[in-house]
């Protein structure tokens, strides 16, 4: 009796033997750069043990270049792409991609439909790499990115876990700089306006501010959170003034929130900086043109976009770039001047 031909092992069987996901097995077999050494070795061992032979057509599809990268943003902020922060990031990304042949695809993925579109793009490999921004908590975009057969660079760290490739600002250090400036200029009743508690940047800025105050023995009177918008700052400042009627310093986790706080303070008859000093975060154009001009923590927003794109290009080309934390610094203007008021 003639024996039936031996069945060839499948990619799913290789993944199961190696103890990794199917996508991780595919990335390892196709020599994609975004696979850990341990997973790559486990897959190689499974391939040898099972006698798996990769499909040349599938390999060609998996390693092809399509000449585009995605900047995907997960945020429910209204008018997101009109926000000066994201506009600066996009300018930075575009500038870094200019010398390459890669096109930029912008994708707002804050809704189920947007996430489905993002997932389809990943599965069909309609991009060579992905940049993810504005992730909160257990954001499904982070999970989808981790499962992708593509390099993924994070703009800002997610709340949970540390990805392989990311670019972030020193948010915690910036918060400490704000606290140190208030203490140095004689402020002793500070409050803080922070962003959403499931956004890592907001958490880090608040932590740094609280740490800076604690090291000087100055208590933080109160904290309120909200959207990174002027309205968010206005509403948070109102709540703070109801609970704490005599703060002498306000640290806001964004310039937009600080501008909103300035509006509320004026409405309550409080003078800035004579009665209350105010410090923001970002150092966008709004900080220079607010009334009074805003003391703020400068983070290099355009450089954030540039470095994200450069990191992604390096990963797409098979290199393994190192994560990057960009420095922050204090910019002193009239809302919180040097010297006691």
Is there a contact between 153 and 89 (Cβ–Cβ < 8 Å)? no
Q: Which helix (H) or strand (E) holds 300?
A: none
Residues 6+ apart with CB under 8 A from 276: 247, 248, 249, 250, 265, 270
* 341: confidence class by pLDDT, cuts 50, 70, 90: very low
Least confident range from 109-118, 157-166, 207-216, 259-268: namely 109-118
Q: Residue 253: count other Cβ atoms within 10 Å of its Cβ.
A: 35
Return the closest-CA partner of residue 254 out of 196, 338, 332, 315.
Answer: 196
| pTM reported for the whole predicted model | 0.78
Residue 174 to residue 324: CA distance in whole angstroms: 16
Report the alpha-carbon angle 223-228-232, nearest 5.
65
For helices 22-29 and 11-18, the axis angle rounded to 10 degrees is 100
- Per-residue confidence (pLDDT) for residue 282, from 0 to 100: 95
pLDDT of residue 242: 94
**In sequence order, which ranges of the chain are alpha helices (DSSP H)?**
11-18, 22-29, 37-50, 56-63, 84-97, 112-123, 140-147, 171-184, 200-215, 230-243, 255-267, 285-289, 301-316
Report the C-alpha gap between 216 and 320 in whole angstroms. Answer: 41
Domains of the chain: 1-42 (no CATH), 68-168+301-325 (3.40.50.2300), 171-299 (3.40.50.2300)
Q: What is the mean pLDDT of the chain?
A: 87
Selected residue with higher pLDDT from 182 and 63: 182
C-alpha–C-alpha distance, residues 272 and 54, integer Å:
68
Helix (H) or strand (E) holding 153, with range, is strand 152-155
- pLDDT of 82 above 80: no
Count other Cβ atoms within 10 Å, centred on residue 339. 7
Candidates 341, 220, 183; CA nearest to 276 is 341
Which of 34, 329, 1 minimizes the C-alpha distance to 176?
329
d(CA 172, CA 90): 24
With vertex at residue 315, the alpha carbon angle to CA 310 and CA 316, rounded to the nearest 5 degrees, is 95
CA-derived radius of gyration, the chain: 24
pLDDT attached to residue 9: 80
pLDDT digits (tens, 9 = 90+) for 259-301: 999 999 999 999 999 999 999 999 999 899 999 999 999 999 9
């Amino acid at each position: 009796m003639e024996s039936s031909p031996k069945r060839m092992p499948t990619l799913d069987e290789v993944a199961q033997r190696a103890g990794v996901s199917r996508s991780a097995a595919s990335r390892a077999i196709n020599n994609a750069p975004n696979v850990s050494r341990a997973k790559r070795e486990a897959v190689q061992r499974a391939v040898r043990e099972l006698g798996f032979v990769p499909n040349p057509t599938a390999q060609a599809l998996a390693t092809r270049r399509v000449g585009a990268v995605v900047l995907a943003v997960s945020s429910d902020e209204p008018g997101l792409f009109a926000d000066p922060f994201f506009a600066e990031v996009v300018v930075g990304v575009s500038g870094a991609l200019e010398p390459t042949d890669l096109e930029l695809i912008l994708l707002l993925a804050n809704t189920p439909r947007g996430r489905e579109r993002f997932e389809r793009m990943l599965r069909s490999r309609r991009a060579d790499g992905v940049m993810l921004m504005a992730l909160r908590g257990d954001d499904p975009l982070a999970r989808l990115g981790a499962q992708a057969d593509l390099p993924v660079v994070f703009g800002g760290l997610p709340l949970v876990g540390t990805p392989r490739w990311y670019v972030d600002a020193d948010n915690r250090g910036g918060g400490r700089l704000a606290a140190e400036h208030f203490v140095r200029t004689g402020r002793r009743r500070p409050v803080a306006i922070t962003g959403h508690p499931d956004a890592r940047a907001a958490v880090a800025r608040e932590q740094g501010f609280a740490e800076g105050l604690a090291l000087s023995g100055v208590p933080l009177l109160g904290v309120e959170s909200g959207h990174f918008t002027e309205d968010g700052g206005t509403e948070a400042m109102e709540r703070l003034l109801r609970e704490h009627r005599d703060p002498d310093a306000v640290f806001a986790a964004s310039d937009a929130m600080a501008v909103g706080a300035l509006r509320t303070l004026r409405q309550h008859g409080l003078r800035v900086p004579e009665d209350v000093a105010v410090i923001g975060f970002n150092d966008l154009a709004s900080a220079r043109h607010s009334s009074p001009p805003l003391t703020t923590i400068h983070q290099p927003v355009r450089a954030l976009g540039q470095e994200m794109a450069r990191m992604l290009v390096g990963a797409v080309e098979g290199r393994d770039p190192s994560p990057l934390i960009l420095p922050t610094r204090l910019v002193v203007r009239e809302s919180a001047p040097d010297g006691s008021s």
